[in-house]
Homo-oligomer: A and B are copies of this chain.
Amino acid sequence: MYEHLLYPKSIAVIGASKDEKKIGNVILKNLLYYGYNGRIYPVNPKNEDIFNIKTYPSIKDINDEIDLAVITLPSQFVPDSITECVEKGVRYVIVIAGGFSETGKKGAELERKILELIKGSRTRVIGPNTVGVYLPKSKVSTALTLPDRTALPGEGCLAFISQSGALGLLTMDTISEYGIGVSAFINLGNRIDLSETELLDFFKEDENTKSILLYLETFKNGREFFNKAKDIVKSKPIVVLKSGRTEAGAKAASLHTGALATDDSIVEGALKQAGIVRAYSETEMIDYGRALGYQKPLTGDSIAIVTTAGGLGVITADYVASETNGVGLKVATLDDKTKEDLREVIVPFGSVENPVDLTAEGSTEQYDKVIEILNRDKNVDGLIVYALFQTAKVDESLIDVLEKHMSEKPMIVGILGSKFGKKMLLEAERRKIPAYPSMERSVKAMKVLYIRGKYLKGRNVE
């Protein structure tokens, strides 16, 4: 029943308010501001309407099924609200407020009470101490972001689950600039009920999600999570940014989310065994999620590199081949026939060895032919193509060429620059071509296609 959470048809805002200082005011306004087109029900016994929307004294007075309720009240009022939500049969309840286990004994007691109240019911709780959800397709945001301070991404195919709200919002703000979208963002907060494990199931089912990204400081139930992940990675890639991997980090995590330290080598082993790709930074998490979500896995380790700037070819070859400061793949040795064919296309002072260098004379047509030729070479498993728009002989149609070849061997695209380059990077993203603004990031994206390919092969998954 993941649709009730990811695509809610009705939302109740418990504690909706006319007072601009109240969270219930901001969240209700956000639903209106972002244009949520489901049914909105403000709940507040003191008002008959808020923003001209009929307001109910209790959620139980609403004559409709409620998919999602957002409790915006302070912690001490939450249990009573939960009771009403359970009685109403609400599917999902987001508890925004802090003041629970993260503040001590009294707060922990409140959490136990909530769990007691929902036991045996169909009501599930997200949080407490959470920014809630951001669902771009449904145009729902329960996060208390300032619109002029934080950008939220558009619709995309990355599902993003984060134990930390702020880290999630900061990451989404950052990727907005690159036109990268999400299918949904869910902040686990104190995670007393709904956890990352069940969300894996939700996103496995969700057809708008192509890859699942998680930021975690701990696993709520590691064994269960890894078992489930092992099944799901067969059809959808999972990327985990697990922090607290050092003693210093684990100590910080224990202060942040009350995480108990786990030996990182155990985490590392479990991730590998489950076929989860590990990221070490927010940038890697998104980069890997895009590569795996937009592109098929690699079936071998030999990479062809296409460039119009020789220096990029050299640096990229280093990154591809190096075990220490690189990813330890192979720079493909091209077939003689390939080189002959390339010679027909490329200017005489260009290189038909790998990295293939079209030079600044390289045109959109040449890119097209060169990629085609390399796709025919059985020594080539994947391509890193630098689409450099700084020279006169390429134009916007190079993006069409890249899109056309997306159905062939796995291809990662590098697009550098700020003016035209940035514009084309956004256009590539719009078409779900995995493009990166740096050489290192392009090569690392290729590596995760290899990791996934090798893992699936080892488990005989086609």
Contacting B at CB under 8 A, from A74-98, are: 98
The residue in chain B whose Cβ has the minimal distance to the Cβ of A98 is: B349
Q: Is the CB of A243 within 8 A of B318?
A: yes
Q: Is the CB of B314 within 8 A of A418?
A: no
Copies in the complex: 2
Range of interface residues on chain A? 35 or more
Q: Is the CB of B241 within 8 A of A315?
A: yes
Residue from B102, B349, B418, B439 in contact with A282 in the complex, judged by beta carbons closer than 8 Å: B439
**Chain B neighbourhood of A314, CB < 8 A:** 217, 243-244, 249, 252-253, 256
CA distance A319 to B284 in the complex (A): 13
Residue from B167, B325, B422 in contact with A312 in the complex, judged by beta carbons closer than 8 Å: B167
Q: Distance (Å) between the CB of A262 and the closest chain B CB? A: 13
**Chain B neighbourhood of A246, CB < 8 A:** 317-318, 321-322, 326
A429 close to B (CB within 8 Å):
no
CA distance A209 to B147 in the complex (A): 40
Residue from B169, B326, B438 in contact with A390 in the complex, judged by beta carbons closer than 8 Å: B169
Q: Is the CB of B149 within 8 A of A248?
A: no
The residue in chain B whose Cβ has the minimal distance to the Cβ of A392 is: B146
Q: Is the CB of A173 within 8 A of B419?
A: yes
Q: Is the CB of B357 within 8 A of A255?
A: yes
Q: Is the CB of A248 within 8 A of B309?
A: no
The residue in chain B whose Cβ has the minimal distance to the Cβ of A167 is: B311
**Chain B neighbourhood of A61, CB < 8 A:** none
Q: Is the CB of A164 within 8 A of B309?
A: yes
The residue in chain B whose Cβ has the minimal distance to the Cβ of A245 is: B318
The residue in chain B whose Cβ has the minimal distance to the Cβ of A145 is: B390
Contacting B at CB under 8 A, from A144-180, are: 145-146, 148-151, 162-164, 166-167, 169-171, 173-177
CA distance A95 to B246 in the complex (A): 54
CA distance A103 to B349 in the complex (A): 7
A16 close to B (CB within 8 Å):
no
Q: Is the CB of B419 within 8 A of A280?
A: no
Residue from B175, B251, B325 in contact with A280 in the complex, judged by beta carbons closer than 8 Å: B325
A391 close to B (CB within 8 Å):
yes
A57 close to B (CB within 8 Å):
no
CA distance A378 to B45 in the complex (A): 56
The residue in chain B whose Cβ has the minimal distance to the Cβ of A150 is: B390
Residue from B162, B247, B418 in contact with A173 in the complex, judged by beta carbons closer than 8 Å: B418
User: Per-residue CB proximity of A421-435 to B under 8 Å, as 1/0?
Assistant: 110000000000000
A388 close to B (CB within 8 Å):
yes
CA distance A102 to B349 in the complex (A): 8
A33 close to B (CB within 8 Å):
no
CA distance A428 to B461 in the complex (A): 49
CA distance A283 to B283 in the complex (A): 14
A222 close to B (CB within 8 Å):
no
Most chain B CB within 10 A, of A102, A241, A252, is at A252
**Chain B neighbourhood of A440, CB < 8 A:** 280-281, 283-284
**Chain B neighbourhood of A417, CB < 8 A:** 149-151, 170, 173-174
CA distance A242 to B146 in the complex (A): 44
User: Per-residue CB proximity of A122-148 to B under 8 Å, as 1/0?
Assistant: 000000000000000000000001101
A420 close to B (CB within 8 Å):
yes
A226 close to B (CB within 8 Å):
no
Q: Is the CB of B357 within 8 A of A251?
A: no
Most chain B CB within 10 A, of A175, A217, A246, is at A246
Q: Distance (Å) between the CB of A387 and the closest chain B CB? A: 12
CA distance A353 to B252 in the complex (A): 8
Q: Is the CB of A164 within 8 A of B310?
A: yes
Q: Is the CB of B252 within 8 A of A317?
A: yes
**Chain B neighbourhood of A321, CB < 8 A:** 246-249
A331 close to B (CB within 8 Å):
yes
A351 close to B (CB within 8 Å):
yes
Given A166-B308, A246-B318, A252-B353, 5 further pairs, Cβ under 8 A: A163-B311, A247-B321, A251-B353, A252-B331, A255-B351
